[in-house]
């Protein structure tokens, strides 16, 4: 579609842009102590955006002269991103870490991040892919280093910049090789010209893919591009950590799925499980090994952590690994499984981080020692945290179990060559049981029982309920999620 | 003649880039960067991207590099600080780099790159302008949001009052 025609189908992004500018202007007019108001601008703006997305035409088309697409797949991720941003924005008001700081810019940058994530989920052009990843990365750098008075946060910001610059440099090199081979930046044209290449180009293709994988792998913090994760997650404000572990990861998976399906597969039709076998290179094995390395490393290192925030950081690396397990098969079922997992993961992971925030607001710490006897002192927090830990382990009857169930069943239906991935995934879930239950054990079985009960603030309780209820409910009745994912599995496909 | 010029410019770019990395005095590195950026501008000319070559000179050499040098000069005592490049595991790093260099060279030499027949060199400004405002309008606009965010971020992080 031409630029002018596209505007009609671009309302959600336009609304976000207006929200960003409004937030910026509102922030100019108010004092530091009242800068929470900007959060309201963002929250209301995001709600309006969600309505706009919901009411959008269900058409499937490209926008802005083939730069981005509008399809149910992108819409699914947009709604997921809005949901996580809303939860994080509400919790940001309650996060004591941010009290000394002006929050206007914080919420404005969060808005720009949302715009970048939207574009990540929908771009089909290498230039747009790169720019959207940069929008997300640069906003994340700033937000990770937002606590200026805290040296850990400074470290987080700086490390994130260095790793981010490095991996996007490598990715750009890969993209340029791809451009040199095909002469186009459009996914569908690249796909068509790649199909016409002979074997002499396969070395360059491998090089390009590995380099591009470095850029995408960095966004979902897959091993061996995960080195930034623990320090950034630990130093950043906890609300931002929670956000980084969910929303950019979801958009990263969206971009990976779209890229591999539409460039290296059959153009998005996802007809069969052999779709990645276009080159002579064993892609399923390479991605499978990366997935196994990611979750094993995440789990093994998580065991040794003293700080719960850092433990959750490694645990989120492990969860990226579980989702990557399904990538080598690349059939429509695995995409379906990854999307179901992302929905479940959103609630349980955000919930766990919100508990960390509540506890830190009260005790000022985030190590296991601060959680001693917490289950008796703050029963609500104890119960909710137990639920999240159960779910992150993947035990029934919680959402995490359903997510894992879909991933493993997709792997098994992919054929016997993927059984080993399912087995390794199972072993890893057992390992993770150890450190997730350590939290539960510390909360209920250690420390002295205090007689006084402490209630978390009402807003926090509300948000925790808003994440805990889905975690429990989707463990028993997951039809709504599955139906939603089912209806969203429509890609824009262009036959050249 | 054009060939010799190309190799000369390429050599200047690579050698001065190596100097940027290997020298351990910040000011020298910054000055060496000047030649690297000039060299890259020269390479753009060889690709008939005259507009980008000009922008490279204006923005990188004229703006960013001057800013870097100002930054170094105005920072207290930074010119006397020796940045040590005593990197660890030089052996492993060297092996990886040599392997990567060989592999990339083979890839670059063996691959059937898409060749385009040479066109008459023409001013590219009009084309760049058209593409930016028509085909690549969305990336162009998104970059402006990105720059806005970067500006807000820079102001936030450098402000004295938290």
Kindly state whether residue A357 falls inside one of the protein's structural domains.
Answer: yes
Helix pair A308-325, A238-263: axis angle to 10 deg = 10
SS3 A457: coil
Kindly state whether residue B99 falls inside one of the protein's structural domains.
Answer: no
Q: How far is residue A287's CA from residue A209's CA, in Å, rounded to a whole number? A: 11
Q: Is the model's pLDDT at B81 over the cut of 70? A: no
Kindly state whether residue B108 falls inside one of the protein's structural domains.
Answer: no
SS3 A64: coil
* Chain B residues interacting with chain A (CB cutoff of 8 angstroms): 103-104, 106-108, 110-114, 116, 134-139, 142-143, 145-146, 148-150, 152-153, 155-157, 161-162
Say if the Cβ atoms of A112 and B148 lie within 8 Å. yes
Kindly state whether residue A91 falls inside one of the protein's structural domains.
Answer: no
Do B80 and B130 fall into the same domain?
no
Domain that holds residue A365: 282-491
Sign of CA dihedral B96, B99, B104, B107: negative
Residue A89: exposure state from Cβ atoms within 10 A (0-12, 13-18, ≥19): buried
SS3 A161: helix
What residues form DSSP beta bridges with A367? A307
Say if the Cβ atoms of B148 and A100 lie within 8 Å. no
The distance of A489 to chain B (nearest Cα, Å) reads 25
Q: Is pLDDT larger for residue A51 or for residue A100?
A: A51
Do B79 and B125 fall into the same domain?
no
Query: And the tokens for B12?
Result: 């200047």
For chain B, give the mean pLDDT: 87
Kindly state whether residue B97 falls inside one of the protein's structural domains.
Answer: no
Question: Which one of B113, B128, B142 would you mutate to disrupt binding with A, by most A Cβ within 10 Å of its Cβ?
Answer: B142
Kindly state whether residue A87 falls inside one of the protein's structural domains.
Answer: no
Q: What is the mean pLDDT of residues A77-82?
A: 96
A379-383, A388-392, A393-397, A414-418: least confidently modelled range: A414-418
Do B80 and B125 fall into the same domain?
no
Identify which of B136, B145, B150 has the shortest CB distance to residue A115.
B145
Q: Which residues contact A307 (CB under 8 A, 6 or more apart)?
A: A234, A366, A367, A368
The distance of B61 to chain A (nearest Cα, Å) reads 20
Kindly state whether residue A99 falls inside one of the protein's structural domains.
Answer: no
> What 8-state DSSP symbol labels residue A61?
E
Q: How far is residue A80's CA from residue A169's CA, in Å, rounded to a whole number? A: 28
Q: Is pLDDT larger for residue A492 or for residue B43?
A: B43
pLDDT for res A15 = 96
CA distances from B151 to A66, A149, A162, A350 (A): 29, 20, 19, 29
Name the band, by pLDDT with cuts 50, 70 and 90, for residue B96.
Answer: very high
Query: And the tokens for A401?
Result: 């179990």
pLDDT for res A275 = 41
Kindly state whether residue B10 falls inside one of the protein's structural domains.
Answer: yes
Q: What is the pLDDT of residues A169-189, one digit of tens each?
A: 999 999 999 999 888 999 888
Say if the Cβ atoms of A119 and B134 lie within 8 Å. no
Name the band, by pLDDT with cuts 50, 70 and 90, for residue A279.
Answer: low
Query: And the tokens for B114?
Result: 């898409």
What residues form DSSP beta bridges with B25? B82
Name the band, by pLDDT with cuts 50, 70 and 90, for residue A272.
Answer: very low
Q: What is the pLDDT of residues A206-241, one digit of tens each?
A: 888 889 988 999 989 888 888 899 999 999 999 999
Name the band, by pLDDT with cuts 50, 70 and 90, for residue A269.
Answer: very low
Residue A447: exposure state from Cβ atoms within 10 A (0-12, 13-18, ≥19): middle
Do B2 and B81 fall into the same domain?
yes
Name the band, by pLDDT with cuts 50, 70 and 90, for residue B85.
Answer: low
Q: Is the model's pLDDT at A120 over the cut of 90? A: yes
Q: Which residue of B has its CA nearest to A158?
A: B157
Do B126 and B74 fall into the same domain?
no
Q: How far is residue A68's CA from residue A121's CA, in Å, rounded to a whole number? A: 9
Q: What is the pLDDT of residues A432-450, one digit of tens each?
A: 999 999 999 998 888 777 7
Say if the Cβ atoms of A119 and B145 lie within 8 Å. no
The distance of A181 to chain B (nearest Cα, Å) reads 5
Of A192, A256, A271, nearest in space to A225 by CA: A256
Q: What is the pLDDT of residues A126-159, one digit of tens each?
A: 999 999 999 999 999 999 999 999 999 999 999 9
Kindly state whether residue B53 falls inside one of the protein's structural domains.
Answer: yes
Domain that holds residue B146: 121-162
Q: Is the model's pLDDT at A117 over the cut of 80? A: yes
Kindly state whether residue B93 falls inside one of the protein's structural domains.
Answer: no
SS3 A55: coil
Q: Is the model's pLDDT at A268 over the cut of 80? A: no
DSSP string, B136-162: THHHHHHHHHHHHHHHHHHHHHH-S--
Looking at the predicted complex, does its ipTM rise above 0.95? no
Do B143 and B75 fall into the same domain?
no
Q: Is the model's pLDDT at A274 over the cut of 50? A: no
Q: Is pLDDT larger for residue A280 or for residue B127?
A: B127
Of these ranges, A41-50, A286-295, A411-420, the one predicted with the greatest mean pLDDT is A41-50
pLDDT for res A266 = 54
Q: How far is residue B17's CA from residue B64's CA, in Å, rounded to a whole number? A: 16
DSSP string, A285-353: HHHHHHHHHHHHHHHHHHHT-SBHHHHHHHHHHHHHHHHHHTTTT-SHHHHHHHHHHHHHHHHHHHHHH
Which residues does chain A have within 8 Å of residue B142's beta carbon, measured at their own beta carbons? Answer: 115-116, 119, 128, 131-132, 135
pLDDT for res B1 = 75
The distance of A495 to chain B (nearest Cα, Å) reads 20
Q: How far is residue A391's CA from residue A349's CA, in Å, rounded to a whole number? A: 9
Say if the Cβ atoms of B157 and A65 lie within 8 Å. no
Q: What percentage of residues in chain B have a pLDDT greater than 70? A: 91
Q: How far is residue A325's CA from residue A319's CA, in Å, rounded to a whole number? A: 10
Side-chain half-sphere CA neighbours of B28 within 13 A: 13
Side-chain half-sphere CA neighbours of A301 within 13 A: 19
Q: What percentage of residues in chain A have a pLDDT greater than 70? A: 96
Say if the Cβ atoms of A64 and B145 lie within 8 Å. no
Q: Which of B86, B113, B143 is the last residue of a domain?
A: B86
Kindly state whether residue A325 falls inside one of the protein's structural domains.
Answer: yes
Q: What is the mean pLDDT of residues A258-268?
A: 70
Q: How many domains does chain B have?
A: 2
Q: Which residues contact A166 (CB under 8 A, 6 or more apart)?
A: none
Q: What is the mean pLDDT of residues B31-51?
A: 91
How many other β-carbons are positioned within 10 Å of the β-carbon of residue B140? Answer: 15
Say if the Cβ atoms of A131 and B145 lie within 8 Å. no
Kindly state whether residue B103 falls inside one of the protein's structural domains.
Answer: no
Do B135 and B79 fall into the same domain?
no
Do B48 and B125 fall into the same domain?
no
Kindly state whether residue B23 falls inside one of the protein's structural domains.
Answer: yes
Sign of CA dihedral A124, A228, A433, A321: positive
CATH number, residue B7: 1.20.120.1200
What residues form DSSP beta bridges with A139? none
Q: How many domains does chain A have?
A: 1
Say if the Cβ atoms of B149 and A135 lie within 8 Å. yes
pLDDT for res B145 = 95
């Amino acid at each position: 579609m031409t630029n002018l025609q596209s505007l009609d189908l671009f309302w959600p992004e336009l609304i976000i842009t207006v929200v960003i500018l409004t937030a910026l202007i509102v922030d100019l007019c108010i004092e530091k102590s009242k800068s929470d108001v900007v959060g309201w601008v963002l929250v209301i703006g995001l709600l309006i955006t969600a309505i706009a997305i919901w009411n959008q035409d269900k058409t499937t088309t490209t926008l802005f002269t083939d730069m981005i697409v509008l399809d149910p797949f992108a819409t699914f991720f947009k709604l997921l991103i809005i949901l996580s941003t809303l939860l994080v924005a509400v919790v940001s008001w309650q996060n004591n870490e941010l009290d000394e700081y002006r929050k206007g810019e914080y919420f404005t940058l969060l808005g720009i991040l949302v715009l970048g994530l939207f574009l990540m989920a929908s771009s089909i052009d290498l230039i747009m892919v790169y720019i959207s990843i940069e929008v997300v990365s640069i906003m994340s750098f700033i937000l990770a280093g937002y606590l200026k008075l805290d040296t850990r946060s400074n470290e987080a910001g700086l490390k994130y910049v260095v790793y981010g610059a490095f991996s996007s440099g490598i990715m750009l090199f890969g993209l340029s090789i791809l451009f040199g081979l095909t002469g186009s930046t459009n996914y569908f044209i690249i796909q068509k010209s790649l199909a016409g290449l002979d074997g002499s180009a396969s070395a360059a293709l491998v090089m390009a893919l590995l380099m591009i994988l470095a850029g995408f792998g960095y966004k979902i913090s897959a091993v061996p591009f995960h080195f930034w994760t623990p320090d950034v997650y630990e130093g950043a404000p906890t609300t931002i950590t929670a956000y980084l572990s969910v929303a950019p990861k979801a958009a990263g998976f969206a971009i990976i799925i779209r890229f591999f399906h539409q460039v290296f597969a059959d153009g998005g039709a996802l007809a069969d499980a052999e779709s990645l076998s276009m080159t002579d290179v064993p892609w399923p094995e390479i991605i499978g090994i990366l997935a196994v390395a990611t979750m094993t490393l995440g789990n093994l290192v998580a065991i040794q952590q003293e700080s719960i925030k850092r433990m959750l950081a490694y645990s989120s690396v492990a969860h990226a690994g579980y989702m990557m397990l399904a990538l080598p098969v690349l059939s429509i079922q695995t995409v379906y499984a990854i999307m179901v997992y992302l929905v479940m993961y959103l609630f349980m992971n955000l919930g766990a981080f919100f508990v960390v925030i509540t506890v830190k607001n009260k005790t000022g710490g985030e190590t296991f020692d601060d959680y001693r006897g917490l289950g008796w002192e703050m029963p609500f927090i104890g119960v909710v945290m137990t639920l999240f830990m159960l779910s992150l382990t993947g035990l029934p009857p919680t959402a995490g179990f359903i997510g894992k169930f879909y991933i493993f069943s997709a792997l098994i239906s992919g054929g016997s060559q993927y059984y080993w991935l399912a087995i390794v995934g199972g072993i890893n879930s057992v390992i993770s049981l150890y450190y997730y239950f350590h939290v539960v054990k510390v909360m209920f079985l250690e420390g002295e029982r205090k007689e006084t009960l402490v209630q978390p603030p009402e807003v926090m309780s509300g948000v925790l309920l808003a994440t805990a209820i889905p975690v429990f409910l989707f463990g028993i009745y997951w039809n709504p999620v599955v139906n939603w994912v089912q209806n969203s599995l429509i890609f824009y496909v262009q036959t050249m | 003649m054009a060939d010799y010029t190309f190799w000369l410019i390429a050599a200047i770019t690579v050698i001065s880039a190596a100097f940027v990395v290997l020298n351990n005095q910040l000011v020298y590195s910054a000055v060496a960067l000047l030649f690297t950026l000039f060299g890259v501008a020269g390479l753009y000319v060889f690709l008939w991207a005259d507009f980008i070559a000009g922008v490279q000179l204006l923005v990188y050499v004229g703006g960013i590099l001057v800013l870097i040098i100002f930054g170094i000069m105005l920072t207290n005592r930074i010119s006397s600080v020796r940045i040590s490049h005593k990197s660890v595991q030089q052996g492993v790093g060297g092996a990886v780099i040599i392997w990567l260099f060989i592999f990339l060279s083979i890839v670059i030499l063996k691959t059937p790159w898409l060749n385009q027949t040479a066109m008459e060199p023409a001013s590219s400004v009009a084309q760049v302008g058209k593409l930016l405002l028509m085909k690549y309008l969305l990336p162009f606009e998104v970059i402006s949001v990105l720059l806005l965010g970067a500006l807000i971020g820079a102001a936030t992080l450098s402000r004295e009052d938290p």
